Structure 1
Amino acid sequence: MASTPPNPYTQAGVDTAAGDLAVELMKSAVKRTHGPEVWGGVGGFAGLFDASAFLSYEKPLLATSTDGVGTKVAIAQAIDKHDTIGQDLVGMVVDDIVVVGAKPLFMTDYIACGKVFPERIADIVRGIADGCAATGTALVGGETAEHPGLLGINDYDVAGAATGVVEAAKVLGAERVRAGDVVLALASSGLHSNGYSLVRHIVAGRGIGYGDNAADFGTTWGEALLAPTRLYTSPLLRLLDTIPDAVHSLSHVTGGGIAANLARVLPQGTWVDVDRSTWSPSPVFRVLADLADLELTATEGTWNLGIGFLAVVAPDQAGAAISALAADGIHTWQVGVVADGTRPAGDFEQGAKGVDGGAVRLVGTYAETD
């Protein structure tokens, strides 16, 4: 009896059977994100989403965003912990959509790896699915690609894209902002998913291993640095629904830091002084800065320093917005007021990412730790 010849693709380093097993392991988690709008289930060439709800919109606009997690994945790989990276991906992608006031509808993911380890891939996707469920987003498709020879056996990267919808008349943005509007800060859960090249540089420079005990955090360094990105979409959508005229613009504080990202959602000719004394950056920022012999101010263009989102709101609604977000578990406080006219001398960030917006600087001294 002739033996079955070996699969040449397997000999080349690609294990399609492992990929199929990974899909089976993640199926139930993905299905939990599906409502009646999702057609076709898991495994199709394309995800299908019923857009009939758009008929109730006067002028529906689709919002889309794509992103990855960056070098934070290197820490997950170093300590073999992969169940939180998915939430980071959802935070980076879906939370960009709510910035314009849009409700996320669906998301797809892409995982490239050197070798498919089914349980690892399933952990990543379960994290994505959990994040999608928390933000009301259907995970309608994805791809896992094995790239032997390009990526190391334990290497992987993740990316995703999401789509949402917003009524044209309700789009948030700089054009709604007026002088006198109040700038609110929404607390971050830590580093989120930005500035990890600096984090890794600091840790490596001090000879710290990710499995080493981090006395300041009561855990290992790797676990502390993998604290997942806070998800803001659902609380912000509830805020927009319950106090519909309160929010004029939103900013997701990601790469570039607080000033640059706030400047993107302010109109030209306006400026804001963000008062550092209104908050104390989380311990993770202080510990890392101390290890690198850096002042916290030197990291302001890299890390969020405790602010994950900013909301520019009508001054008479600021208190109600703070209370609503607090009821949703997000500590929120006032950090500044929008001004116009001649701005004071000083180093302002003016626009970013190709947007010629307003101007922002951070002033004062950070509050002491509790």
Structure 2
Amino acid sequence: MCSNKTSLTYRDAGVDIDAGNRAVELMKESVKRTYTPGVVGDLGGFGGLYSLAGHSMSDPMLVSGTDRVGTKLRLAIMMDKHDTIGQDCVAMSVNDILVQGATPLFFLDYIAVGKLDPVKVAGIVRGVAEACEESGCALLGGETAEMAGFYDNDDYDVAGFAVGIVDRPKLITGESIKAGDVILGLPSSGVHSNGFSLVRKIVFDHKQLSIDTEIPEFGKTLGEELLTPTRLYPKAVLPLIEQELVKGMVHITGGGFYENIPRVLPKGVTAEVDVTTWPRLPVFTKLQEWGNVAWPEMYRTFNMGIGMILIVDQNDVETVKENLGNRGEAVYEIGRIVSGDGPVVLKGAEFDA
């Protein structure tokens, strides 16, 4: 029998605790800048603490949402650019809880890596923190997991969840939506974080383009356009929610218009959307052209330039438009709520039989 007396360490197994500690030190200042009055304690505890003492509501409710960036991360890894992907992670959850009328309170992230690079992880977290600041919520905590042998050294995944608060009487459920209500659309910043499996299939497999390819219609490289972070909507929408001007909201994510709009509609009504009422971003025109993608598939997969939908009473339309316009926010009147239980109807030359 042979005896092997070599003393193994966690680092020998691929996990560097010192690198993890270094990453925490690098991200501390970014995280602290997000702290709001409700935050209790400091970074480094086993759990994040948040006090609700300052919220005077008749029936406060917490609203939570969770998501991940998805395969858009592959582009960030290919470009070795990691400082904006955190905004995608925050936006996917914060925008989701916003549609129910919730004011974001705090966010927690989860980053899993093959090999921990403290500077790279700190850059990712910096993007998360900046998005939290813009959304008015605290980055309350998170987890960085070094998973040697599970992920390749350069690979990583980013996920997180947001928690917000709303007074139950002001909860946005969509139940009061009726025929005659107006559908308003707030523009997206680009592809956001949905449909990237199809995007990658089109640009890399089908067209065999490089991320460094200059696309004249974009005024930038393909990679730069596709990595444009998901827009954050709290600043634009919360003032409208506070004035109770919104009957229903829809975050256009995976499933596009066809799958997401029905989620907020009560029985007996459906939506008619005129796709000619807002400017189509060049990225969607090129993706459709490059992949010869059917238009219904485009509107089922992508946001097509509209990232958030507001459904408002026809008597409040001008008030909402004026409110948004005074704050420099673009808004488009894109459709109507009509009687019926059928699927969402999209109108425009692309859909004319």
TM-score, normalisation: structure 1: 0.90
Indicate the residue corresponding to 1:224 in structure 2: 225
Aligned to 1:184: 184
Residue 246 of structure 1: CA displacement? 1.7
Matched, 1:365 2:353: no
Distance 1:219 1:274 in 2: 31
In 2: Cα distance, 1:69 partner to 1:290 partner: 25
The secondary structure found in structure 2 opposite 1:165 is strand
Consecutive aligned runs of 4 or more in structure 1 exceeding 4 Å deviation: none
Structure 1 segment 1-370 matched on structure 2, within 5 A: 8-54=9-55, 56-204=56-204, 205-241=206-242, 244-340=243-339, 342=340, 348-349=342-343, 360-365=344-349
Paired with 2:198 and 2:350, the residues of 1 have a C-alpha distance of 21
Number of aligned positions between the proteins: 345
Identity over the aligned pairs, expressed in percent? 45
How many Å separate the matches in 1 of 2:107 and 2:117?
23
Distance 1:176 1:53, change over 3 A: farther
Distance 1:294 1:338 in 2: 28
Counterparts of 1:214 and 1:114, CA distance in 2? 33
Tell me if structure 2 keeps the 8 A contact 1:280–1:366.
no
On the 8 A contact 2:38/2:54 being kept in 1, the answer is no
- Amino acid of the structure 1 residue aligned with 2:23: A
- Measure the CA separation in 2 of the matches of 1:330 and 1:195: 26
- Residues 36, 137 of structure 2: 8 Å contact kept: no
Q: Which residue identity is paired with 2:284? A: F
Aligned AA (1:308): G
Q: Could you say what secondary structure the match of 1:325 adopts? A: helix
- Please tell me whether the aligned partners of residues 170 and 244 of structure 2 are also in contact (alpha carbons under 8 angstroms): no
Deviation string for 1:50-72 (max 9, x for gaps)? Answer: 11124x11111110000011100
**Which piece of structure 1 moves more, 320-329 or 297-306?**
320-329
Structure 2 Cα separation of the partners of residues 103 and 133 of structure 1: 13
Q: CA deviation at 1:228?
A: 0.8
Quote how far apart the aligned CAs of 1:209 are: 1.6
- Output the amino acid matched with 1:363: K
Q: Distance in 2 between matches of 1:297 and 1:330?
A: 28
**CA shift at 1:297, angstroms?**
3.3
Q: Please give the alpha-carbon distance, in whole angstroms, between the structure 1 residues aligned to 2:282 and 2:8.
A: 52
1:280 offset after TM fit, Å?
3.0
1-side partners of 2:16 and 2:8: how far apart?
9
- How far did 1:180 drift? 1.3
Report if aligned partners of 1:19, 1:118 keep a CA contact under 8 Å in 2.
yes
Unaligned runs of 5+ in 1: 350-359
**Counterpart amino acid of residue 249 in structure 1:** G
Amino acid at match of 2:346: L
Going from structure 1 to structure 2, the CA distance change for 1:6 and 1:218 (only over 3 Å counts) comes to farther
Structure 2: where are the runs of 5+ without partners?
1-5
Q: Compared with structure 1, are the counterparts of its residues 27 and 213 closer, same or farther at alpha carbon in structure 2 (3 Å cutoff)?
A: same
Return the alpha-carbon distance in structure 1 between the equivalents of residues 12 and 321 of structure 2: 59
Q: Deviations over 1:78-132 (max 9, x none)?
A: 0000011011111101111110101111110000110111111011100000000
Separation in 2, partners of 1:214, 1:74: 20
1:7, CA displacement in angstroms?
A: 5.7
Q: CA deviation at 1:6?
A: 6.5
Cα deviation for residue 20 of structure 1 reads: 0.8
Retained in 2: the 8 A contact 1:68–1:160?
yes
Distance of aligned partners of 1:37 and 1:215 in 2 relative to their CA distance in 1, 3 Å threshold: same
TM-score (norm 2): 0.94
In structure 2, the residue matched to 1:355 is none
CA RMSD of aligned residues (A): 1.6
Separation in 2, partners of 1:34, 1:131: 13
Aligned counterparts of 1:123 and 1:339: Cα–Cα separation in 2: 47
Counterpart contact for 1:279–1:366, Cα < 8 Å: no
